[in-house]
């Protein structure tokens, strides 16, 4: 028979998956002989069983709960519902990973009309007993029966008014009895049944409510944000109540063994005398710093300090503890590894290694790689931020903090930037035409688009803060204002964006620059010693490349050449190329672009100083480059000596039903090989010149995008090689270069063995591969993905975290097939996933050579790559 329920004394810390984090630690502390209010744990398996049976708790589980309860009653010498010494318990969730505040809790369970009298007698404090009872009724109704709290507040306030009382603490025991009576009436009215007088019924209903809360919307959202699988389930902890609110010799508090903001090795915490845990959190009374407890309750304080020290040493990590003092006696209610800022995480890890408590490897494993993001970007001044309330929130598309004046077009944003203003660009969505305005902005806010929309990808690349997909934003471009949840913001008004949290604020919140600490460098050094995956960056400009090198990038995995074409001195030339009617005219237009493109590459090569640089050839559909507004078309027509109608017709002929699946990528080079010829010439001439001028040994890696067939790659490669060899000959150089391909089409994965015959490297373009494999586009999926998350069909955003089950199969297949043809085939990833820790671990496990990500994510990737090595061991 499955054991569904464990007494605390039956478990230990190793049983985290079964008992949840909280339960396993309570068991462990029990084993250590610490003062823990005893109880039992209903396992995560019981939770999964509940869901598997269509939300039913079996009789077997119920029987085991009953047995555990009997054992607890015996041990505590108290009885459920007793009129002399009733047992009261708390019911708390506890998943494998900590999900603070996401699931439900019930306190004081066990109070009934009978038990409350026993409780009053036992504590000698009827006021306290009835206060507990009314709290319990309200909490139970809310959490277990889903009756709104406000229904009870009405009664509570009416009694207070009737008695002319303003402070809750002035209510007498009789007042509270009256309130309890009123609460029970509300309960009956709302639910059509009496408040349950059988504590066992209360208990089962509460345990079920905690199971149910595993699937409430905020828990689902939290899991998605933190990569926690829905299949883990939650355990339920049933624990005897102790009371910190039994007078001035009682109290409750929380404390960290080190400072969670800075990492400083000093006990950090606060407490309240005569209070329950929720009072500390609620913020009605101001708690005291933990050090003051030494004066108020010296024995309890000493005990606590000793135990805290013991726990940190035992768990070898900074602990976050909750405690209660009941009549001078200390109880530990919970301990766990404390949440901390990235700064603190690095400092604590380094100091624990210094103190010999953990190894470097353990230190590396401990740090949440994703959290590094926040410390590299500028952040808001904490004090001002705390005093501000967001007026809206959406996707944290590109981290960092930004404040500035609102503008609605790339043009006005650019102009304001040129005037020296700080700018926030607010758009429905951005397009490549907006690139200049985006460059000129501190931050970008879009109404549409996901984590991998154009705005998000470009902003991350630039290190510009971005909040995307804020559907509540309604832009009136003509009126030059936007509204967001009732606020109207006009052009020129200040707003602030927190791109790490996805929040939008009114006004100009001051920002502070990121400081990179010595601890950061220490941890990065250790990570570099461990990892085997190389880390490259996606960079389109010398500035991006320089930033990435500062963060430790070892090369460029993706330079998008099209972004260079949107500069104002270039776009007319590319438009001319597109509107050319013959290959000759097209070649002439391209000829004019070579010097610009070459200059771009030289700038990047010089910064990279001989590190590998992968250059992707023109990828987007050509219609992205042509104007859409009639006036722009007119200007272009005039410029080219064509009629408006001719130009307009050409622009319209470029329309595609599904541009993502249209004439783009290497398909452009197949139809217009002269484009590939121009780009090859620019790549090669730049490399040879930089080699000659600076002595760097540049080996350009030319990457052909969107290949689905060997002959397609060969066709374009032949053009590249022919041109490259011609350039080498002309310039008398023997420079090396590689030609490879992006693997981003399912067919390329299926036929990777053939494609590898023509490729010197593969780089996985997992953005497109994800789109094609799932059959939905990242720009359109926003309309339905929320429904998918709510219904637990997908648990994470496949554009942020690689779908290892599906897309991962294709990546693995392509890696294996490619290596079957060429055992030393160089493999990398340059999709947005390249900066995601779980994806990086996957890449390590399937044997990729490198990951490539935006500059600010390079440190994350270095750390995650080291963690991948450690996890595999």
* Sites of contact with a second copy (CB under 8 A): 656-663, 667, 670-671, 706, 708-709, 711-712, 715, 744-747, 750-751, 768, 771-777, 779-781, 783-784, 787-788, 791-794, 803, 805-807, 809-810
Min dist CB 716 to a second copy, Å, is 10
Q: Give the DSSP letter string of 756-783.
A: TTT-SEEEE-HHHHHHHHHT--TTTTHH
The dihedral region occupied by 110, where left means phi > 0, alpha psi between -120 and 50, and beta the remainder, is left
Output the six-digit token pair for 239. Answer: 């624990």
Output the six-digit token pair for 661. Answer: 């699946």
749 part of the active site: no
- Which residue, 597 or 777, has its beta carbon nearer to a second copy? 777
Min dist CB 775 to a second copy, Å, is 4
Q: How far is CA 658 from CA 623, 626, 647, 654, 655, in A?
A: 12, 17, 22, 11, 9
Min dist CB 768 to a second copy, Å, is 7
What is the rounded distance in angstroms from the CA atom of residue 590 to the CA atom of residue 859? 38
Min dist CB 805 to a second copy, Å, is 6
Output the six-digit token pair for 511. Answer: 């920002």
830 part of the active site: yes
CB 746 within 8 A of CB 770: no
Output the six-digit token pair for 16. Answer: 């985290």
Could you say which of 350, 466, 666, 830 is catalytic? 830
466 - beta bridge partners?
398, 444
Determine the 3-state secondary structure of 576 from DSSP: helix
Per-residue burial over 396-412, b if 16 or more Cβ lie within 10 Å, else e, is bbbbbbbbbbbbbbbeb
Min dist CB 792 to a second copy, Å, is 7
Min dist CB 812 to a second copy, Å, is 10
End-to-end CA distance of the chain: give it in Å, rounded: 34
- Which residue, 117 or 758, has its beta carbon nearer to a second copy? 758
- Which residue, 783 or 824, has its beta carbon nearer to a second copy? 783
Min dist CB 704 to a second copy, Å, is 13
Min dist CB 353 to a second copy, Å, is 42
Instruction: State the angle between helix axes of 571-579 and 583-608 in degrees (0 to 180), rounded to the nearest 10.
Output: 150
What is the rounded distance in angstroms from the CA atom of residue 560 to the CA atom of residue 541? 9
238 - beta bridge partners?
40, 91
- Which residue, 113 or 709, has its beta carbon nearer to a second copy? 709
What is the rounded distance in angstroms from the CA atom of residue 819 to the CA atom of residue 824? 7
Cα–Cα–Cα angle for 473, 474, 476, rounded to 5 degrees: 140
Determine the 3-state secondary structure of 743 from DSSP: strand
Report the run of H or E that residue 6 belongs to, with start and end.
strand 5-7
Could you say which of 439, 454, 623, 844 is catalytic? 454
- Which residue, 341 or 804, has its beta carbon nearer to a second copy? 804
Q: Give the DSSP letter string of 62-91.
A: HHHHHHHHHHHHHHHT-BTT-SSSB--EEE
- Which residue, 607 or 759, has its beta carbon nearer to a second copy? 759
- Which residue, 181 or 711, has its beta carbon nearer to a second copy? 711
**Helix residue ranges, H only, 619-765:** 630-640, 644-653, 666-671, 673-694, 710-731, 746-750, 752-755
Q: How many CA atoms lie within 13 A of 574 on its CB side?
A: 25
Min dist CB 470 to a second copy, Å, is 15
β-strands 89-95, 234-240 pairing: antiparallel
Min dist CB 653 to a second copy, Å, is 9
Cα–Cα–Cα angle for 278, 284, 289, rounded to 5 degrees: 80
Name the residues annotated as catalytic: 454, 830
């Amino acid at each position: 028979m499955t054991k569904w329920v464990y007494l605390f004394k039956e478990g230990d810390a190793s049983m985290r998956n079964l008992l949840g984090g909280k339960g396993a630690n309570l068991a462990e502390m029990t084993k250590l002989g610490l003062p823990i209010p005893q109880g039992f744990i209903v396992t995560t398996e019981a939770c999964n069983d509940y869901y598997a049976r269509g939300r039913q708790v079996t009789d077997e589980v119920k029987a085991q709960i009953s047995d555990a309860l009997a054992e607890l009653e015996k041990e505590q010498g108290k009885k459920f519902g007793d009129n002399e010494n009733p047992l009261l318990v708390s019911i708390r969730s506890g998943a494998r990973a900590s999900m603070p505040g996401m699931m439900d809790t019930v306190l004081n369970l066990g109070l009934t009309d009978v038990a409350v009298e026993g409780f009053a007698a036992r504590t000698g404090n009827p006021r306290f007993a009835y206060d507990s009872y009314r709290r319990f009724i309200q909490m139970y109704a809310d959490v277990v029966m889903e009756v709104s709290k406000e229904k009870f507040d009405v009664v509570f306030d009416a009694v207070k008014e009737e008695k002319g009382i303003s402070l809750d603490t002035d209510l007498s025991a009789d007042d509270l009895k009256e309130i309890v009576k009123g609460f029970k009436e509300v309960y009956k009215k709302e639910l059509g049944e009496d408040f349950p007088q059988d504590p066992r019924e209360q208990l089962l209903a509460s345990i079920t409510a905690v199971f149910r809360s595993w699937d409430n919307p905020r828990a689902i959202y939290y899991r998605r944000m933190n990569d926690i699988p829905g299949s883990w389930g939650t355990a339920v902890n049933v624990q005897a109540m102790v009371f910190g609110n039994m007078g001035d010799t009682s109290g409750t508090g929380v404390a960290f063994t080190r400072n969670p903001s800075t990492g400083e090795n000093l006990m950090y915490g606060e407490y309240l005398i005569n209070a329950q845990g929720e009072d500390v959190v609620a913020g009605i009374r101001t708690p005291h710093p933990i050090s003051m407890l030494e004066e108020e309750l010296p024995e309890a304080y000493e005990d606590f300090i000793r135990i805290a020290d013991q726990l940190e040493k035992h768990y070898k990590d900074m602990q976050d503890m909750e405690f209660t003092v009941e009549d001078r006696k200390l109880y530990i209610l919970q301990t766990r590894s404390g949440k901390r800022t990235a700064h603190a995480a690095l400092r604590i890890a380094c100091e624990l290694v210094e103190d010999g408590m953990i190894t470097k490897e353990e230190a590396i494993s401990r740090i949440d790689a994703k959290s590094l993001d926040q410390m590299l970007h500028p952040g808001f001044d904490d004090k001002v931020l705390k005093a501000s309330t967001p007026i809206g929130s959406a996707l944290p598309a590109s981290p960092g903090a930004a404040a500035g004046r609102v503008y609605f077009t790339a043009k006005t944003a650019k102009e304001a930037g040129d005037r020296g203003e700080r700018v926030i660009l607010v758009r429905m969505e951005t397009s490549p035409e907006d690139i200049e305005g985006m460059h000129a902005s501190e931050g970008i806010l879009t109404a549409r688009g996901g984590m991998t929309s154009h705005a998000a990808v470009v902003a991350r690349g630039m290190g510009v803060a971005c909040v995307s997909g804020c559907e509540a934003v309604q832009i009136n471009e003509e009126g030059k204002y936007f509204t967001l949840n009732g606020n109207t913001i006009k052009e020129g008004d200040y707003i602030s964006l927190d791109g790490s949290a996805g929040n939008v604020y009114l006004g100009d919140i001051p920002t502070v620059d990121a400081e990179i600490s010595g601890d950061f460098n220490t941890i990065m050094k250790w990570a570099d010693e461990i990892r085997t995956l190389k880390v490259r960056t996606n960079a389109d400009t010398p500035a991006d490349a320089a930033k990435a090198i500062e963060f430790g990038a070892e090369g460029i995995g993706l330079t998008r050449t099209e972004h260079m074409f949107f500069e104002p001195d270039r776009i007319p030339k590319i438009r001319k190329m597109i509107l050319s009617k013959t290959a000759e005219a097209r070649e002439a237009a391209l000829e004019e672009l070579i010097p610009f493109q070459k200059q771009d590459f030289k700038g990047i090569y010089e910064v990279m100083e001989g590190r590998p640089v992968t250059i992707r050839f023109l990828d987007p559909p050509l219609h992205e480059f042509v104007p859409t507004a009639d006036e722009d078309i007119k200007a272009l027509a005039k410029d080219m000596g064509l009629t408006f109608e001719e130009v307009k017709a050409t622009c319209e002929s470029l329309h595609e039903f599904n541009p993502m699946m249209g004439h783009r990528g290497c398909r452009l080079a197949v139809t217009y090989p002269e484009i590939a010829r121009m780009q090859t010439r620019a790549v090669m001439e730049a490399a040879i010149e930089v080699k000659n001028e600076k002595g760097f040994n540049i080996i350009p890696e030319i990457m052909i995008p969107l290949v689905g067939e060997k002959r397609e790659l060969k066709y374009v490669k032949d053009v590249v090689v022919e041109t490259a060899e011609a350039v080498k000959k002309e310039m008398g150089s023997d420079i090396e270069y590689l030609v490879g391909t992006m693997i981003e089409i399912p067919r390329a994965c299926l036929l990777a063995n053939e494609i590898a015959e023509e490729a010197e490297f593969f780089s996985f373009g997992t953005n497109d591969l994800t789109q094609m494999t799932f059959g939905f586009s990242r720009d359109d999926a926003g309309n339905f993905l929320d429904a998918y998350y709510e219904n637990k069909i997908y648990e994470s955003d496949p554009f942020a975290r690689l779908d290892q089950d599906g897309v991962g199969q294709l990546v693995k297949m392509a890696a294996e097939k490619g290596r079957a043809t060429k055992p030393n085939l160089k493999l990398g990833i340059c999709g947005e996933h390249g900066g995601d820790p779980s994806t990086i671990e996957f890449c390590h496990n399937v044997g990729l050579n490198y990951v490539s990500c935006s500059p600010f994510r390079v440190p994350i990737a270095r750390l995650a790559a080291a963690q991948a090595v450690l996890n595999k061991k």
